[in-house]
Structure 1
Amino acid sequence: MQITVHKHYKEKEVLVPQLIEGFSDSGDLIMQGTRNIIKSNILGEEKVVIKFFQKPGLFKSVIYSFFRSTKAKRSFEYANYLLEYNIPTPFPIAYVEEKSGLGLLQDSYYICENIDYDFTFRELIHNPLFPERNIILEQFTDFTFKMHQARVNFLDHSPGNTLIVKRGAGEYDFYLIDLNRMKFETLSIEARMDNFKKMWLSKTMVKVIAKKYADLSGENEEKLQQLLLKKTIAFKAKTTRKKYLKRKLRIMK
């Protein structure tokens, strides 16, 4: 077991192994996917979140062991990068990699701060009458603009990966989660609009975001609106097509 702990949590490093060893039997389940499991638990006296990445297949195990950082390590390093540029994300506490005698990756874990959030971006999509919806959209656009200015291309910029905390009337904080898929590069205006496409925006939401992004960037509002709408419609069509084909394949089986 290889443990890397943030310097601010060095005094709690000795507590990490028991948290990992008891992962299956303790803690509160947040999400269980086909390969990943997320739980909350207590580290010392602090509530934390632990994301478990199940052992990859042989080929990916070799890749992650010798050629590419593991998802747990990337999550930790990317979180540190975001915080360096004042882009909120749950504070990265540690990551753990379990390897075989041959040095091949087995299971891995990422531990971060627990955020008591009020809702995610998903609620804004499903409820057009959500309180202060346009204000939240404008502040979310500002948040994303700052991310783009910091050369962050968040490849999983989707509705469930932004936690939203209400600080007061008309004031919101945003936190990025599920960080292991990012690129760090200068983004063209087209790439910036493309980065919004997975948010599943309505035409009304597109107008609000395009106007705010135009104000922040100095780009033409109509140009951004057309570009963002084009990207959004294409993504929705592609996703719908994939779902349709999957259903057809299931029926054929």
Structure 2
Amino acid sequence: MRIITHPKYKESEKALLQLVNAFFSEGNLIVKGSRNTIKSNVLGEEKVNIKYFKRPGALKSVIYSFFRSTKAKRSFNYANYLLKHNIPTPFPIAYMEERSGLGLLGDSYYVSQQIDYDFTIRELIHDPLFPDRNSILEQFAAFTFKMHQANVNFLDHSPGNTLIIKRDAGRYDFYLIDLNRMKFENLSVEARMDNFKKMWLSKTMVKVIAKKYAELSGQPEEKLHKILLEKTLDFKRKITKKKWLKRKLKRK
């Protein structure tokens, strides 16, 4: 097992390896997916999250071993990039990779600090009467603008991947999670609006976000609104059609 830790946690390597070795028998389950599992545990006096990436198949194992960074490594490196550019994300503690004698990737893990958050964007989407909804959306638009200015194209910018903490005086903090799919590039206006499409925004939400983003970027509000609405509706139609086809195939 190869372990890479943040310099602040160098002395905790042994304890981190113990947590990972006991992953399947200890800790509290947060997410159980077909490929990834997330658990919380305690490192010293600190709450941490451990994300387990299941051993890839033969072809992907070769790709991740020799041609592309693993998901665990990307999560760690991308988190460090975000923090360097003042974009909040749970603090990256370490990542581990299990390798065979031939250097092929087996299981891997990413460890980060646990964030005790209040809600995600998902709650706002399903509740038009959510308290302070428009203010949260405006602050979320500003958060995303800051991310774009740092050349971050977060490919999984979806409702559950931004944790939100309510502070005082109507202020909210946003934290990105599930980081392993990102591109770092200069984003055009079209690409910036496209980055919002997975949020599943209503027409009212589109209006609020376009207005705030226009204010920050200096772009015409009407232009941003038109692009964002088109991107959002196209994405919704595509997903709805995909679900309809799946249901139809299941009936056969």
TM range (shorter): over 0.9
How many angstroms does 1:53 deviate by? Answer: 0.2
Confirm or deny that 1:202 pairs with 2:202.
Answer: yes
Q: Equivalents in 1 of 2:2, 2:42: separation in Å?
A: 20
Q: How does the TM-score come out when normalised to structure 1? A: 0.99
- Secondary structure of 2:210's counterpart equals helix
Q: Equivalents in 1 of 2:59, 2:44: separation in Å?
A: 37
Which residue in 2 is equivalent to 1:218? 218
Q: How high is the sequence identity, in percent, across the aligned residues?
A: 74
Which residue in 1 is equivalent to 2:179? 179
Q: Equivalents in 2 of 1:5, 1:46: separation in Å?
A: 16
Q: Equivalents in 2 of 1:248, 1:66: separation in Å?
A: 40
1:75-116, Cα deviation, whole Å (9 max, x unpaired): 000000000000000000000000111110000000001000
Which residue in 2 is equivalent to 1:106? 106
How many angstroms does 1:117 deviate by? Answer: 0.1
AA partner of residue 103 (structure 1) = G
Q: Equivalents in 2 of 1:44, 1:217: separation in Å?
A: 44
Which residue in 1 is equivalent to 2:22? 22
Which residue in 1 is equivalent to 2:159? 159
Q: Equivalents in 1 of 2:250, 2:137: separation in Å?
A: 38
1:151-174, Cα deviation, whole Å (9 max, x unpaired): 000000000000000011310000
How many angstroms does 1:230 deviate by? Answer: 0.3
Which residue in 2 is equivalent to 1:32? 32
AA partner of residue 184 (structure 1) = F
Q: Equivalents in 1 of 2:33, 2:41: separation in Å?
A: 18
- Secondary structure of 1:17's counterpart equals helix
- Secondary structure of 1:160's counterpart equals coil
- Unaligned 5+ runs, structure 1: none
How many angstroms does 1:14 deviate by? Answer: 1.4
AA partner of residue 174 (structure 2) = F
User: How many residue pairs are counted as aligned between the two chains?
Assistant: 252
Which residue in 1 is equivalent to 2:58? 58
Which residue in 1 is equivalent to 2:133? 133
Which residue in 2 is equivalent to 1:88? 88
Which residue in 2 is equivalent to 1:192? 192
Q: Equivalents in 2 of 1:142, 1:81: separation in Å?
A: 19
Q: Equivalents in 2 of 1:246, 1:100: separation in Å?
A: 38
How many angstroms does 1:44 deviate by? Answer: 1.5
Q: Which runs of 4+ in 1 moved over 6 A?
A: none
How many angstroms does 1:11 deviate by? Answer: 1.5
Q: Equivalents in 2 of 1:213, 1:50: separation in Å?
A: 34
Once the two structures are overlaid, the 10-residue window that deviates more, 166-175 or 89-98, is 166-175
Q: Equivalents in 2 of 1:55, 1:40: separation in Å?
A: 20
Q: Equivalents in 2 of 1:43, 1:54: separation in Å?
A: 22
How many angstroms does 1:13 deviate by? Answer: 1.2
Q: Equivalents in 2 of 1:246, 1:115: separation in Å?
A: 36
- Secondary structure of 2:160's counterpart equals helix
Which residue in 2 is equivalent to 1:227? 227
1:42-71, Cα deviation, whole Å (9 max, x unpaired): 111111000000000000000000000000
AA partner of residue 156 (structure 1) = D
